[in-house]
Chain A
Amino acid sequence: MPEDSPLLKIAFELNGTVQNAEVGPWDTALAVLRDTLGLIGTKEGCGIGECGACTIIVNGRAVDSCLMLAAQLDGCKVETIEGLSKGGSLHPIQQAFLDAGSVQCGYCTPGMIMSAKALLDKHPKPDHEQILRFMSGNLCRCTGYQQIIEAINRAAGSNPDPRETGEPS
């Protein structure tokens, strides 16, 4: 590391707890979460903001952590998949993903669930268009999306609409 590029000290709220970290100026938020802090629930898929596997919530908004510098987390409220279950109980969105059979290989699932959480935090009863719109940045190559949409509807407490088909476009 060059002498003139020292580590940065950052502090942010991570899943409700103050987190301090020393990060390289060029480190991504994803790299720091996974490699420095050991939170490997957040996945790297494409690394270029196309697939959404690395989705986390920063200040209430879903973002691709691969497209963010760790330094940008400083002072922010950050939520990752690890913060969802409480006291050994799954978060309702996690439970809905299990109940609806929304998980196959599981690699996209943490990102899917974080996008779904950002959606439901903002729109507790989303309509079908809102679900497609919020989830369009998350790719799943296994399930065909139908079960994921159903899980979000279940988590929202609404009845799944049998007419809903297809993938987020």
Chain B
Amino acid sequence: MRSVFQYVRPSCLEDAVQFLGKNGAETVILAGGTDLMLAMRKGDVECKYVMDVSRLKELKVVSLQGDHLVIGAAVTYTELVESDLIHAQAPVISAAASCVGSEQIRNVGTLGGNVGNASPAADSIPGLMVHNARLEIVRRGEFITKPLSEIIMGPYRTPLIRGDLITKFLIDRLPHPYHAVYQRIGRRRAMAIARINLAATARLGPSGAICDFRMSIGSMTPQPYRALSVERMVIDKRPDQGLLTEVAALTTAGMLKLSGVRSSTEYKKPAAQGLIIKSLSELFGIPINEGESQ
């Protein structure tokens, strides 16, 4: 039996915040609906109100504000893909958005929904992580900002409570010019959720040595993973196949420490190493030696 509720669609953020201040504990937020509608179909949505925020223009903004790129929580994947600003400033986020689901899903699914549901396979997470994304959230009328790494506590687990509204993402701009890559492994290209996904960015100095490197891998660890020690390790080194192999081994070992050895590890470990080598080869323009890329 389908869930039963009232539908509310505030016309501005202020009205939404006011409504949530009063009724937040009894309200579920609807943005793209690609996850929520499935729960409703099963009758799993128990609330008095469903608040549709998909048209709030304050949540649809994409703009540069000082050192940050601001992306509204209700911006859809299609809008991310079509945005020249995001393509220029955060190409890994564009690339990740273009990998999501199908055209129909990309047309309604939102960045805020992807993060708010904390799916371990969320395509957007690694790209957001390399940009040190922070979320602006309204909780009981108060605006708070939290790093993404604190929002994803584990698969489908966040510190968000009913009535919280993610309003926007603040994304660090990266030092120019940099190279960027997003790759994923899924069972098939369309629709399939990511089994492992990776975003990385790098900047090379005039000598060809790495002066900035960021890499995040999704779907492997309970929380989003930034390979911070490896990121530091490669600084001032010149990228070559040996370095990529070392990065792949160290990063995978670091993730396995966090995730523990599970039944899927046998598959995921070489897959992750192969994904890292393939992605970084693309990032640095180093031809892959197939024998070493698994």
Contact = CB atoms under 8 A, between A and B. Distances in A.
B190 A25 contact: no
B233 to A, nearest CB: 37
A49 B34 contact: yes
Given A48-B38, A169-B188, A115 B5 contact: no
B102 A26 contact: no
A120 to B, nearest CB: 13
B52 A136 contact: no
A133 B191 contact: no
A69 B30 contact: yes
Q: How large is the interface on A (under 10, 10 to 19, 20 to 34, 35 or more residues)?
A: 35 or more
Interface of B: 2-7, 9, 30, 33-34, 37-38, 40-41, 48, 50, 52, 54, 78, 101-105, 107-108, 188-191
Nearest to A169: B189
A119 B102 CA distance: 13
Given A66-B37, A67-B37, A169-B188, A8 B7 contact: yes
Nearest to B78: A61
A49 B105 contact: yes
Nearest to B102: A137
Given A47-B41, A48-B38, A49-B37, A26 B188 contact: no
A25 B103 contact: no
Contacts of B105: 49, 64, 137
Nearest to A26: B2
Interface in A14-64: 25-26, 28, 47-50, 52, 55, 61-64
A72 B103 contact: no
B37 A28 contact: yes
Contact of B3 (A4, A26, A62, A137): A26
Nearest to B189: A169
Given A52-B104, A62-B107, A25 B37 contact: no
A49 B105 CA distance: 7
Given A69-B33, A69-B52, A136 B5 contact: no
Given A5-B6, A26-B5, A135-B103, 4 more contacts: A25-B5, A25-B50, A64-B104, A137-B190
A118 interface: yes
Contacts of B40: 26
A62 B101 CA distance: 13
A88 B30 CA distance: 40
A73 to B, nearest CB: 11
A134 B38 CA distance: 23
Given A69-B30, A69-B33, A69-B52, A61 B189 contact: no
A168 interface: yes
